[in-house]
């Protein structure tokens, strides 16, 4: 929307700046605050326009004395007529608070009254010119009525005061306080005299005429002085009005108001000159040069300010360039703003002037003869020699003058701008084509060692990290030597890390290789030692360097020729260690044969005598609890009838019951089952004959002692005999049982086995009848001897030695188990009707696959520190013949074989193990061993 006429006039009114400056100075001297953004009815009021309008009409007092004059002022600002009175008073107050004192001082040339009686009080009234402390009367509130209320318009909005009791007039003689007197009627009520006989007091009975009552319903008299409507009350409370000060206006004469008469004379002369046609043309309303144009944007503004060589403009430009490079660095390109990069580089070169007695100049001509001149075309190859010849400015390290600190801060801002903008690929390419940027980096990295230059060195290193990939550097390059010096100093981890990255990235974006020539032995040895640190970031930077360094056969030959200073064997050992950096062990379980489901036993297991004796040591109900745990186990799909469970309990402990340890009652015993087994509960199966069962338990195949150890069953079953029902906890007890009970061998008096009792021979079984083993019959051997049979029986016993876990690691079943019927074993099917198996001994056959994996990406490829370590090892093994040819061209093969065996032979076992257990690293280790085997196999 186009601006209004008033707004245009306000913006272009002449003398505004002088008025605002003069008014601000006056307000500061007087101690008041001027509101230049004042508003009335949300509309901005221009104080300069208001000043001109009021003073043109005679000033504040003249305008206040004129009726509706302030409303006319409001009309000039187009405030509207909806609430004209309020707008007029607001406009008057605005002028009163901000400009009336300035008017008295500048227009009337008088000293304005103090702030306490001018700006601090209301704007009501006028006569501010004649106001003094002696004659000024502050506005007072209206007098209160008798009941405490004021006679104002908002009487109903105020809180009424508590009413007080009236007291009789002392002149009445009684002096008695009357209670409950009614108030006088309001003035608008008509007087109605009381026609009834008034109540007379003792002291006023002689009075003939009654006093007028306040209302027709009361007969009490009261003193006239307490009646606000009586004449006596008005006389007693009369107060004369305050004296009114006579307003005197001084006569305006040249001696009293010289400035006013000068202005009048100036206006008269200008009017006369206009009549004669000698006045200069008026410029009012004319568009001045530059008006209406926005001017250059911030980008061009900062560029011009930087190149202007004006310190204030350069400070402004650098302040905004830092912000622009941080927020809009992805859009701000050097190519779009010519001379921006050159200007920034020229500015940051000024940091040398803070520490050395020099001021660098960039010269683009061919003939250069001055010491402080830098070659702007090809760079300065002798920049390091010039820096060494500079004279240091003596200054205290801890004290920085204000000018020094300001210059240093602005130089840091310029360097930070270059650093931020160099992160963009296009800007980095542009900077790499400027020769002076290499000179700046060399100068910045060789500044004196002090805390003030640490920030500048970091900026220089970060800039170099972005642009060294576009350069090819030889060993005598000043910047290359400066970067190696930063690595060799080893004072700051951050500086070393960035310098390593800069060196490793040389020629990365070029087709030429990074030769990395001239690296000092101390720097190489130092980086070998850094591989021992627990710093993944620093180790990664070192490995990147060594990968490019060993890719050049000349560098590898340099390492082989300095083995007394650089321990290569220790270096390779650290690389081999890093192959398994952050590796984790992983076990994968592979099931060969799934476990056999254990079927429920048909009968309750026989409790061994030794276990029974343990139960008898307890009283009920502990005895039955142990027996239940030993003979039964939980199974949610099985059940046992309550009568069978009760009869089994009676059968086992009836012979051992005593009056002191009687058996439990049937109900208590059945209830106790649910206590022992949480999943068991008593149920009734409905049918022709209801069955009472215990759901959730079944018989064990073998009893269990209170410590949780399961007994082993004797599986001996000779032809024509019943299955042995004995259970034994220890293998020795079972062996003694088989030898004595089933084989029939006794012991001598000394405890040894008696194989020839009474001088005769014993009759041994002709075969092993452990679970239908028939070992000797299947082998078509003769009858076994006692020793052979005894040794064979031990193979069926459970293994409880320390090596039991190792021996049974890959076994499907314990040694006591025979083949399963109908199962495929080694490609052969066991015929049906073959030997049976105790189902409790079936279990799964499984093994674990062991892996030792290092860091890998989502595709399973090697990642992290192990990958560059393997690449460095492979590069060393690959370039070993070329390095040997450079060192010993005559006996290259012998030297290569000797060096390869001495370096890689101690690591072969580790390489093989990593290749076997680390799938991601296996291809790289295989390449390393392939190069090594070419020479070690000779």
pLDDT tens for each residue of 485-499:
999 987 889 999 999
pLDDT of residue 809: 52
Quote the crossing angle between the two packed helices 311-327 and 402-422, to the nearest 10°.
40
pLDDT of residue 43: 85
- From residue 798, how far is each of 104, 700, 733 by CA, in Å? 121, 19, 11
Q: Is 357 exposed, middle or buried, given 0-12, 13-18 or 19+ CB atoms closer than 10 A?
A: exposed
The pTM for the full model equals: 0.52
Strand partners, 106: none
pLDDT of residue 532: 92
Strand partners, 240: none
pLDDT of residue 860: 79
Q: What is the DSSP string of 300-333?
A: HHHHHHHHT--HHHHHHHHHHHHHHHHHSTTT--
CB 788 within 8 A of CB 775: no
CB 464 within 8 A of CB 438: no
Strand 361-363 versus strand 373-375 pairing type: parallel
SS3 content of the chain, % helix, strand, coil (to 5): 45, 10, 45
Cis previous bond, 583, omega within 30: no
Query: What sign has the CA pseudo-torsion 360, 361, 365, 367?
Result: negative
pLDDT of residue 737: 86
pLDDT of residue 804: 61
- What number of H helices and E strands is found in the chain? 36, 15
Between CA 861 and CA 870, with CA 864 as vertex, the angle to 5 degrees is: 75
What distance, in Å, lies between the first and last C-alpha atoms of the chain? 94
Sequence-distant (≥ 6) Cβ neighbours of residue 367 within 8 angstroms: none
Q: How far apart are CA 596 and CA 744, in angstroms?
A: 35
User: Could you give the 3-state DSSP secondary structure of residue 620?
Assistant: coil
pLDDT of residue 8: 42
Condensed to tens digits (0 to 9), the pLDDT of residues 234-292 reads 666 667 777 777 777 777 788 878 888 888 888 888 888 888 877 776 666 666 666 66
Kindly report the number of other CB atoms within 10 A of residue 647's CB atom: 11
CB 359 within 8 A of CB 373: no
CB 653 within 8 A of CB 606: no
Instruction: Please state the φ and ψ torsions of residue 593, each to the nearest 5 degrees.
Output: -135, 130
* Three-state SS letters, 770-839: ECCCCHHHHCCCCCCCHHHHHHHHHCCCCCCCCCHHHHCCCCCCCCCCCCCCCCEECCEECCCCCCCCCH
CB 164 within 8 A of CB 158: no
Q: How far apart are CA 600 and CA 609, in angstroms?
A: 24
Q: How far is CA 626 from the centre of its chain?
A: 59
Q: Kindly give the parts of the chain with pLDDT less than 70.
A: 1-13, 125-126, 134, 138-238, 281-293, 368-369, 395-398, 591-598, 749, 755-764, 780-782, 802-850, 937-938
Write the DSSP symbol of residue 756: S
- From residue 414, how far is each of 268, 424, 443 by CA, in Å? 59, 17, 15
Query: What sign has the CA pseudo-torsion 306, 308, 309, 313?
Result: negative
pLDDT of residue 409: 94
pLDDT of residue 598: 64
């Amino acid at each position: 929307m186009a601006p209004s006429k008033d707004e245009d006039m306000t913006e272009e009114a002449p003398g505004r700046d002088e008025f605002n400056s003069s008014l601000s100075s006056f307000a500061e001297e007087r101690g008041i605050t001027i509101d230049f953004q004042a508003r009335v009815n949300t509309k901005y009021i221009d104080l300069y326009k208001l000043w001109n309008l009021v003073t043109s009409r005679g000033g504040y007092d003249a305008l206040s004395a004129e009726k509706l004059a302030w409303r006319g002022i409001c009309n000039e600002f187009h405030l509207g007529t909806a609430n004209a009175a309020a707008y007029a008073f607001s406009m008057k107050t605005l002028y009163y608070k901000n400009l009336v004192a300035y008017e008295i001082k500048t227009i009337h040339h008088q000293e304005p009254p103090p702030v306490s009686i001018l700006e601090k009080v209301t704007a009501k009234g006028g006569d501010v010119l004649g106001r003094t402390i002696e004659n000024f009367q502050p506005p007072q509130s209206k007098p209160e009525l008798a009941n405490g209320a004021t006679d104002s318009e908002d009487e109903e909005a105020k809180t009424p005061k508590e009413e007080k009791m009236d007291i009789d007039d002392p002149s009445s003689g009684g002096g008695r306080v009357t209670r409950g007197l009614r108030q006088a009627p309001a003035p608008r009520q008509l007087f109605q005299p009381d026609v009834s006989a008034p109540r007379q007091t003792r002291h006023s009975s002689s009075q003939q005429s009654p006093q007028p009552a306040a209302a027709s319903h009361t007969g009490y008299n009261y003193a006239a002085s307490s009646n606000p409507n009586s004449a006596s009350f008005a006389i007693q409370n009369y107060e004369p009005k305050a004296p009114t000060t006579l307003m005197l206006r001084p006569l305006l004469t040249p001696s009293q108001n010289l400035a006013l008469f000068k202005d009048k004379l100036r206006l008269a002369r200008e009017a006369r000159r206009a009549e004669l046609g000698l006045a200069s043309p008026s410029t009012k309303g004319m568009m001045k040069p530059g008006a209406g144009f926005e001017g250059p944007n911030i980008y061009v503004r900062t560029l011009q300010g930087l190149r202007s060589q004006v310190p204030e403009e350069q400070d402004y430009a650098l302040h905004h360039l830092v912000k622009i490079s941080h927020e809009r660095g992805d859009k701000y390109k050097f190519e779009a703003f010519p001379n921006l990069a050159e200007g920034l580089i020229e500015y940051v070169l000024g940091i040398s002037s803070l520490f050395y007695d020099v001021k660098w100049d960039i010269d683009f001509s061919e003939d250069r003869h001055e010491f402080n001149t830098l070659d702007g075309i090809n760079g300065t190859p002798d920049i390091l020699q010039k820096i060494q010849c500079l004279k240091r400015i003596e200054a205290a390290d801890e004290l920085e003058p204000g000018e020094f600190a300001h210059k240093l801060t602005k130089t840091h801002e310029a360097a930070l701008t270059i650093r931020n903008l160099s992160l963009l690929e296009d800007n980095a390419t542009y900077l790499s084509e400027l020769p002076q940027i290499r000179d700046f980096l060399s100068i910045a990295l060789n500044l004196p060692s002090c805390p003030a230059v640490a920030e500048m060195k970091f900026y220089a290193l970060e800039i170099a990290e972005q642009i060294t990939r576009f350069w090819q550097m030889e060993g005598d390059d000043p910047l290359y030597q400066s970067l190696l010096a930063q690595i060799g100093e080893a004072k700051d981890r951050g500086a070393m890390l960035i310098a390593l990255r800069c060196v490793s990235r040389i020629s990365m974006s070029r087709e030429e290789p990074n030769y990395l020539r001239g690296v000092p032995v101390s720097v190489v040895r130092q980086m070998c030692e850094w591989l021992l640190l627990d710093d993944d970031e620093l180790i990664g930077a070192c490995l990147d360097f060594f990968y490019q360094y060993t890719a050049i056969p000349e560098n590898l030959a340099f390492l082989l020729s300095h083995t007394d200073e650089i321990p290569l064997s220790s270096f390779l050992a650290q690389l081999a260690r890093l192959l398994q950096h952050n590796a984790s062990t992983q076990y994968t379980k592979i099931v060969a044969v799934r476990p056999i489901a254990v079927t429920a036993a048909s009968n309750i297991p026989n409790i061994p005598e030794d276990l029974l004796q343990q139960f008898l040591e307890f009283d009920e109900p502990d005895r039955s609890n142990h027996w239940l745990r030993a003979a039964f186990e939980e199974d949610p799909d099985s059940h046992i009838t309550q009568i069978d469970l009760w009869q089994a309990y009676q059968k086992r402990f009836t012979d051992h019951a005593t009056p002191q340890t009687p058996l439990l009652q049937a109900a208590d015993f059945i209830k106790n089952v649910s206590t022992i087994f949480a999943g068991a509960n008593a149920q009734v199966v409905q049918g022709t004959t209801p069955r009472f069962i215990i759901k959730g338990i079944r018989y064990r195949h073998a009893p269990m002692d209170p410590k949780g150890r399961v007994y082993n069953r004797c599986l001996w079953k000779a032809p024509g005999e019943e299955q042995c029902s004995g259970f034994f906890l220890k293998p020795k007890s079972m062996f003694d049982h088989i030898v004595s009970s089933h084989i029939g061998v006794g012991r001598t008096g000394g405890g040894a086995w008696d194989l020839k009792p009474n001088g005769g021979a014993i009759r041994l079984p002709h075969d092993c009848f452990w679970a239908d083993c028939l070992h000797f019959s299947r082998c078509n051997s003769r009858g076994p001897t006692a020793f052979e049979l005894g040794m064979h029986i031990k193979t069926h016993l459970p293994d409880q030695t320390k090596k039991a876990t190792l021996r049974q690691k890959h076994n499907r079943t314990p040694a006591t188990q025979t083949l399963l019927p109908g199962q495929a074993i080694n490609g052969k099917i066991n015929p049906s009707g073959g030997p049976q198996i105790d189902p409790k001994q079936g279990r799964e056959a499984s093994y674990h696959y062991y892996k030792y994996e290092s860091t890998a990406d989502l595709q399973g490829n090697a990642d992290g520190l192990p990958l560059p370590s393997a690449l460095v090892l492979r590069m060393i093994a690959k370039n070993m013949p070329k390095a040997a040819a450079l060192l010993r061209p005559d006996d290259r093969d012998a030297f290569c074989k000797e060096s390869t065996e001495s370096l890689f032979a101690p690591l072969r076992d580790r390489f093989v193990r990593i290749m076997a257990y680390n799938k991601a690293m296996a291809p790289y280790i295989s390449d390393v061993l392939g190069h090594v085997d070419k020479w070690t196999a000779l």
